Each structure stands twice: as structure tokens, then as C-alpha cells.
Chain A
Amino acid sequence: MASEKTVYMDHSATTATDPEVVQAMLPWYSQSYGNPSSIYRLAGISRVAIDEARAKVATAIGAKPDEIFFTSGGTESDNWALIGTAFSHKGKGNHIITTAIEHHAILHTCEYLKKQGFDITYLPVDEYGQVRMEDLKAAITDRTILVSVMFANNEIGTIEPVSEIGKLCREQGILFHTDAVQAIGNVPINVATMNIDLLSLSGHKFYGPKGTGALYIRKGIRIDSFLHGGAQEKRKRAGTENVPGIVGLGAAIEKAVRDQDLKTSRIRDLRNRLLERILTEIPNCRLNGHKTERLPGNINICFEFIEGESLLLLLDHAGIAASTGSACSSGSLEPSHVLMAIGVPIEIAHGSLRLTLGIENTEDDINYVSEEIKKAVEKLRSISPLYADYLKKRS
């Protein structure tokens, strides 16, 4: 029988919408449903609600309200940032620099831009997943128009040297975009001091609603409109605003940033204890990513001799939700591009497990999850030909 218990440890995939956020959204469906573009009072209050949400998003990242543009989420913000700046700056050059470990929302957009005649450089990363400044410096040419480096990686949790990159790009007069989808609510962000020109964020990663997001565009940056139509979002992103979603995004980001220190220190503490237990109690496993420059809730670990999808199935049976970078679970049968980029051998990447903790995890969860992982790994190893060989070699 499958377990009754559920422990959610996949917060990098998405989070439960905070009940307070849901409450804040509800009035904007059936009560105050006016179209913000209309002129009567019912519409006016929607406009005010959007302005308030915009101010909250701006405050959370150290921007000004008129630098925030609402979108349908992280994917749209990434697409817009890259495509919108690429086309509006192609008079200056056609070269874009990004990294090998970006989310597909960036990588596949870059593939599209390549077909449109842009040159893309994918920076390698070191064994911990960080971009090296000397690689970035060496990649810049006089045709470089944009650098896009994620704030924090969604698989291994590595935090990139964003301030340094921002400083370099500003000095060189090159636009700097960062995909901060995983970083909001976890890492302090200030677009002004960090010299960030464009930043993507997504509501559902910080206990806000799915299908909501924003792109920060520094004042004065030239960028093409993304959706063409009405005059919404200063004519840059047309379409009747998702008022309840925008209100929810505002409420969620305000709370995420207000409680950030408390929340992240508690989660980091739980994460460290879980990690410690896994590393000491299960032989032949290793941590992927950076020891300290890491999202507080992230664990990414490889268990030798076993495969990740089967591990997820056993954990799911025990009520635990997690994720893997194994080729077997990717649909394309390709191993995680992030694990490949940090040099994890393919067969070891097979046994990767990502646990991402969040606000509702408890001490009990740590004990339960570490026990269940131990049992599952033992069970799969007992079936594995690689483990059998390993035991023979040892004896």
C-alpha cells in the first residue's frame, strides 16, 4: 500500500500557494472584476490594485515601480528579456553570452535566436556550477549585446557571482539579464547595487500563484514589445491584466522578502541536517553543487550504482515528492545538462536526487525522509549489477 503520509520536497518545481495569498486574490475574481483599462470606478480599483502589486515587486528587488512589467511567468520573462533585447540591439551586434546551465526557458530561446542569425556563447562552469569571471571576460567581443546568467540554478542550487558579472557588464556597456526565478525569497537581491539591467521572476516559486511573473527592465533600456495588442504595461506587453494573479504575485513577494531571513535560516538548518544524515548514513554518495554558495533549501546528491527514476518511484510510494536529473526520467533520455556541465560522469548522474525544502517542512520530515531514502537506496542497490560488481571488487 502506498503511504498515507506526504512530504513535499520539490519546492524548486513549484510551491503551494500561501492561503493568505489566495485570500488576497479572491476578491478580484467575482467582486472586483473590472477591466483595468476601463474608466468606471469598478475598473479604477483594479488599476490601483495592479499599481500596489507593482510597487511591492519593485520594493522586493530594489527597483522602481515603473521598471516592473507583469508577465505570465518565468518562461515568458526569459523569452522576452532575450528576444526583446536581441532584436532591439542588433544594430550594435549579434552576440549573446549565456551559460551551459541555464533553464530551458533561456537555452531554447537562445537556440531560436541562433536560427535568427545571432551568435550564442555558452560559458562553461566550474565543478561547483559557478561561472568563472575570466571565461566571461574572454568571451566578450565588440559585438556582444547581452549577457544572461542565472542568479541561482534550479537543479544544483548554485548561486552565481551576479554582482561581479553586473559590474563587469556595466563597465563594458553590455546589457545584463539574470533569471532570478529560483533566487527570489531565498537570496537578497538588489538590482541597483548589483547592476542588473533585466531580471526574470516567477510567482509560483515563492508561494504565489502559477502563471504569474514579472520582468524588471531598468529604466532607459531599449527592448522590443513582446505581445502586441492593447496599451497594457506601457504598450510593451499587451493583454488584459491577470488582476487576481498580479495581486497574488504582489502579496507573495512582499511576504517572501519580509520573512526571508527567518525562513531561510530555518530551512537552511533543516537542509543541513538532512544532508548530513544522508552523507553519513549512506555510503557511496556525493553532493553536487557548491557547499556554501547554494540555495538554502537545495540538496542535489548522486547515489552510485542506482538510477534516479526508480528511486523517485520508491520515494513516491513512501509519500515523498522529489526530483532527479537521470536520463531515464527526462523524456528525451538525455541526462541533466547541468550535471553534465559540472562534470558528473553519465552513469553517476543517473543516480541523482534533488530534494528542495520549503517552509512547511519539519524536523520530523528530515527523519522520515532520510530513513526512506536509505531504505530505497539499499533496495535498488540490491538489484543493481554495478553494486554487485562493486561488492565483489571490494572483497
Chain B
Amino acid sequence: MYSEKVMDHFMNPRNQGEIPDADGVGEVGNPSCGDIMRIFIKVKDNIITDVKFQTFGCGAAIASSSMATELIKGKTLEEAWEMSNKAVVEALEGLPPVKVHCSVLAEDGIHQAINDYRIKQGLSPWEEKAGHAHGHDDESGE
């Protein structure tokens, strides 16, 4: 059902855990199935220097969190904000169509963490793009 890449990230999740003194924290719930993802970021000079996640969800959700955190580590906040769930799906070599929404959760979690950071810095939060792909009719990436 899942690609080897998904299984690899599921079996050996990267960046799992918590950053106690995080600069930004995002927590999102999956509207489809009720699962929860939490993203912690550490920011220095506009760069995400560290990122960790906690996920209560399916294999695809855990693998997506792992991959998404890998993709934004070392990136600028702008670059991390631009990372879409599609990029996560591609990096995972595809997700079954019913599981694309789990990768959307990772994108949303990162956006929340970045905005939490911005608010704590006294900056205004960034707006979600109109037409933000909420995944369901997206290609599966396969």
C-alpha cells in the first residue's frame, strides 16, 4: 500500500520529539479523521535551525511529518512556508489518494509553527494562500 520511502520514514522517523524551548509551535488536527500533529521549530537569523514533531495518526501522517521536517530543516522561513504538501508527497514517492490529506496536515502544522513564531516576534502572521490545496482532489503523486 505504501512506497518504500513512506515505510522508511514511518519505521525510522526523522526529527521525532519535542523542543522544550521552541521558538514556534504549531498544532493541527486532521478534519477528516481526527488525528493530531504538533511541530516545534527553532529559528535563528530567519533560518529554521531545528525542527521536531509529534504525531498521533496513521503511517502516512507519521511519514509525512518526518519528511516535511526534513524538507524544511535549514531553510529560511519563506522557503519553509512555500513548501507544499505536494512536495512532501513527491519526496515520499507518492501516497495513496485517501492518504493525501495526511500530508496536508504536515503543511498546515508547519504554517502554524511559523506563524506562532512570527506572532511571538511581534510580527503579523502570514496569510494562507487562496486556493490552498486541501489535498483531497490532488493527484496522489504516483
**Residue contact A307 to B54, C-beta cutoff 8 Å:** no
Query: Across the interface, do B54 and A388 meet the contact criterion of CB distance under 8 Å?
Result: yes
Q: A317 touching B11 by the CB < 8 A rule?
A: yes
A326 close to B58 (CB less than 8 A): yes
Task: Considering the complex, give the chain A residue whose CB is closest to the CB of B13.
Answer: A383
Interfacial residues of chain B within 1-58, with CB under 8 A of chain A in the complex:
2, 7, 10-11, 13, 16, 18, 27, 32-38, 54-58
A307 interface neighbour in B13, B16, B56, Cβ under 8 Å? B56
- Contacting chain B: which of A41-49, A132-140, A236-244, A328-336? A328-336
Is A105 an interface residue when CB atoms closer than 8 A count as contact? Answer: no
- 8 A-B pairs with the lowest CB-CB distances in the bound complex, closest first: A328-B58, A385-B54, A327-B33, A309-B58, A385-B38, A333-B33, A313-B59, A384-B56
Q: Judge whether B98 is part of the interface by a CB distance below 8 angstroms.
A: yes
Q: Name A's B-contacting residues (CB within 8 A).
A: 305-307, 309-310, 313-314, 317, 326-329, 331, 333, 346-347, 350, 382-386, 388
Q: A313-B10, A383-B54, A384-B54 are in contact. Are A346 and B59 (CB under 8 A)?
A: no
B residues neighboring A (CB under 8 Å): 2, 7, 10-11, 13, 16, 18, 27, 32-38, 54-59, 61-62, 98
Interface pair A385/B36, CB less than 8 Å apart: yes
Bound Cα distance A383, B15 (Å): 10
Task: Report yes or no: A310 in contact with B54, Cβ–Cβ below 8 A.
Answer: no
Residues of A within 8 A of B57 (CB): 307, 310, 328
Q: Give 17 A-B pairs besides A383-B62, A386-B36 with Cβ atoms closer than 8 angstroms.
A: A307-B35, A307-B56, A310-B57, A310-B58, A310-B62, A313-B59, A317-B11, A326-B58, A328-B33, A333-B32, A383-B13, A383-B54, A384-B55, A385-B55, A385-B56, A388-B18, A388-B54
Check if B59 sits within 8 Å of A385, measured CB to CB: no
Closest beta carbon of chain A to B36's beta carbon, Å: 5
- In the complex, which residues of chain B have a beta carbon less than 8 angstroms from the beta carbon of A310? 10, 57-59, 61-62
B125 to chain A, nearest CB (A): 22
Distance between Cα atoms of A383 and B38 in the complex (Å): 10
Q: Nearest residue in A to B57 (C-beta to C-beta)?
A: A307
Do A307 and B98 touch across chains, with their CB atoms under 8 A apart? Answer: no
> Within the complex, what minimum Cβ distance (angstroms) separates A277 from chain B?
25
Q: Is there contact, CB below 8 Å, between B56 and A346? A: no
For A329, list chain B residues within 8 Å (CB): 58
Q: What would be 24 A-B contacts, judged by CB atoms less than 8 Å apart?
A: A306-B56, A307-B57, A307-B61, A309-B59, A313-B7, A314-B11, A326-B58, A327-B32, A327-B34, A328-B35, A328-B57, A333-B98, A347-B34, A350-B33, A350-B34, A383-B16, A383-B54, A383-B62, A384-B54, A384-B56, A385-B27, A385-B56, A386-B36, A386-B56
Closest residue of chain A to B11 (Cβ to Cβ) is A317
Rounded to whole Å, the gap between the CB of B92 and the closest CB of chain A is 14
CA distance A328 to B71 in the complex (A): 25
A-side contacts of B27, CB under 8 Å = 385
CA distance A130 to B133 in the complex (A): 44
Find chain A residues with CB under 8 A from B33 CB.
327-328, 333, 350
| Nearest CB of A to B93, in Å | 16
A310 to B37, CA, bound (A): 14
Instruction: Tell me which residues across on chain A come within 8 A of B34, comparing CB atoms.
Output: 327, 346-347, 350
Bound CA span A333–B55, Å: 17
* Chain B positions within 8 Å of A385 at CB level: 27, 36-38, 54-56
What CA separation (Å) do A326 and B61 show in the bound complex?
14
Contact check, B54 vs A350: say whether CB atoms are below 8 A apart.
no
A306-B38 Cα distance, complex, nearest whole Å: 14
Q: How far is the CB of B11 from chain A (nearest CB, A)?
A: 7
A282 to B16, CA, bound (A): 22
Q: Which residues of B contact A388 (CB under 8 A)?
A: 18, 54
The answer for the CA separation of A346 and B32 in the assembled complex, in Å, is: 12
Report the nearest B residue to A329, measured CB to CB: B58
CB contacts (< 8 Å) of B98 on chain A: these are 331, 333
